[in-house]
Amino acid sequence: MRSFATLGLIGAAALAAASDVHVLKQDTFKAFVESNDLVLAEFYAPWCGHCKALAPEYEEAATTLKEKNIPLAKIDCTEEADLCKDHGVEGYPTLKVFRGPTNPAVYPGQRKAQAIISYMTKQSLPAVSAVTKDTLEEFSASDKVVVVGYFAADDKTSNTTFTKVAETLRDSYLFGASSDAELAKKEGVTVPGFVLYKTFDEGKNVFSGKFEDAEITKFISASATPLVGEVGPETYAGYMESGIPLLYIFAEEASERESLAKELKDVAEKFKGKVSFATIDAKSFGQHAGNLNLEVGKWPAVAIQEIAKNQKFPFSQEEKVNAKNIEKFVNDFVSGAIEPSIKSEPIPESNDGPVTVIVAKNYDEIVLDDDKDVLVEFYAPWCGHCKALAPKYEELGALYGKKDKIVIAKVDATANDVPDEIQGFPTIKLFPAGKKKAPVDYQGSRTVEDLAEFIRDHGTYGVDGLKNKKSAVDDEDIAKATEGMPQQAMAASEKAKDSAESATEKAKETAEAATESAKTGAAKVAEKAKDAAEAVVEALTDDEGGQADHDEL
């Protein structure tokens, strides 16, 4: 009779055999990506918890995408270390989209089956797919959000404008187009125009503004966001990328979140495109309320985050969360009648160390100084990676001691409100002189050398801090090489003195031992002894009267 362990192994083997995810190795990888037009590859480690959580989602996506001839693959980086290194893998899981063996793109979506399916389906299609009256129903329902443009076949200007927007947003939305005038009329569109079809809220939105890329993009961003959505790990990035101020509704129970969403839906409709509304699970993500300057634990609670400037506007926790109060609060925000809440540590009394300390109250003064390249580390006190970086960052700061062109700075992003949206710690950004509106994110290794090279290559002044480090190292080497030389020289001098005195004394003794009758001979002996003593001193001195160099005495 077979044991349970044996049955388990057989089951695991059967499951592995049935997998639709291709296992790639160093000797099979290149041929596989060359033989497929589009491949999603996961670089993983078996011990990685996030990889384990992704596994069933990845399998589900692979099975669905197999029908569309879009293969999914995985590479075990504990076995294929060189292959993973070649593709710049620094964390697990790393997912990359390949269209051939070179220049892959990082997969930017959520690690969920439907998100992977949606994204890879979009990647497999042209930026804009042709749509007819026979395919519209199926195409418009093929994703959560689908945009279909309607314009005449000879309207090249509208076609170009729509295609440009589609190329920019193709990672997020599915785009189609039709030149069927009757179909456009049936869908309620005045050409040129478009319809955004969606699986939530009112089902579709018809665009009626100016057919220009900025207006089209703004409309799509607003319409693709649910009137009252939900903030979580899968949706947070989307809200941040939209650039639209976000109103958070914190509540612990799902039933209360649902009730508040229903009550505030009309308010959300009124401010659609100006403020997004979303509930958030206070049990799981309540600590985020502290980042919005709310009192954690006092629920329900509401706050608006102005994403573009990362400003926080907490709703008074002494007032009731209802449609009337929230409508007034949002109206005051939109009209500019309320000031943002700013959290800041005190400005340091002294800031002369190698790393300049930033707080909210001196942020603009230091970071936006247009005459200096400013490298800023946004950190959290509890962050292990930040603690590991600290001594290296101090060493980096020491390379630019004068702070006349380069400033190395840090800010505790948990204790200070900063205008930058920080999604992980440490986050490092360079704010170049003369280009403060275009900071450069640092993505390299956290070493002194790499950080210095980043400042040199992306800063306005091109200062090479490593030259200062090399100079300091050279000085240190010289100091070590000459260490103890003064003591050696002194010892050499003492030795010379002792030798001279000894020779003189011996000459004296020889002279005294001579008889009166041998005075002439004694004088000759004394003269020779004197010459010997002078020779000893001369041998231990250089041409200018100093002590000569000697390895040993």
> What residues are annotated to the active site?
48, 51, 383, 386
SS3 547: strand
Q: Is 311 exposed, middle or buried (0-12, 13-18, 19+ CB in 10 A)?
A: middle
Number of H helices, E strands in the chain: 21, 20
Q: Which two tokens stand for residue 47?
A: 């011990």
Which residue is listed with tokens 């970086």? 389
| Distance between CA atoms of residues 312 and 259, nearest Å | 25
Q: Where are the beta strands (DSSP E) in 257-402?
A: 276-281, 301-306, 311-314, 356-358, 373-379
Q: Is 352 exposed, middle or buried (0-12, 13-18, 19+ CB in 10 A)?
A: exposed
| Distance between CA atoms of residues 222 and 21, nearest Å | 36
Q: Are 43 and 96 in contact (CB under 8 A)?
A: yes
Q: Which two tokens stand for residue 11?
A: 């089951």
What is the helix, strand, coil percentage profile of the chain, to 5? 45, 15, 40
Q: Is 86 exposed, middle or buried (0-12, 13-18, 19+ CB in 10 A)?
A: exposed
List C-alpha distances in Å: 467 to 243, 433, 462, 472, 475: 41, 21, 12, 9, 12
| Distance between CA atoms of residues 89 and 227, nearest Å | 38
Report the 10 Å Cβ neighbour count for 213. Answer: 14
List all residues 6 or more positions away from 346 whose beta carbon is below 8 Å from its beta carbon. 359, 361
Give the max Cα distance, the chain. Answer: 147
Which residue is listed with tokens 């519209």? 136
Q: Which two tokens stand for residue 408?
A: 């190395």
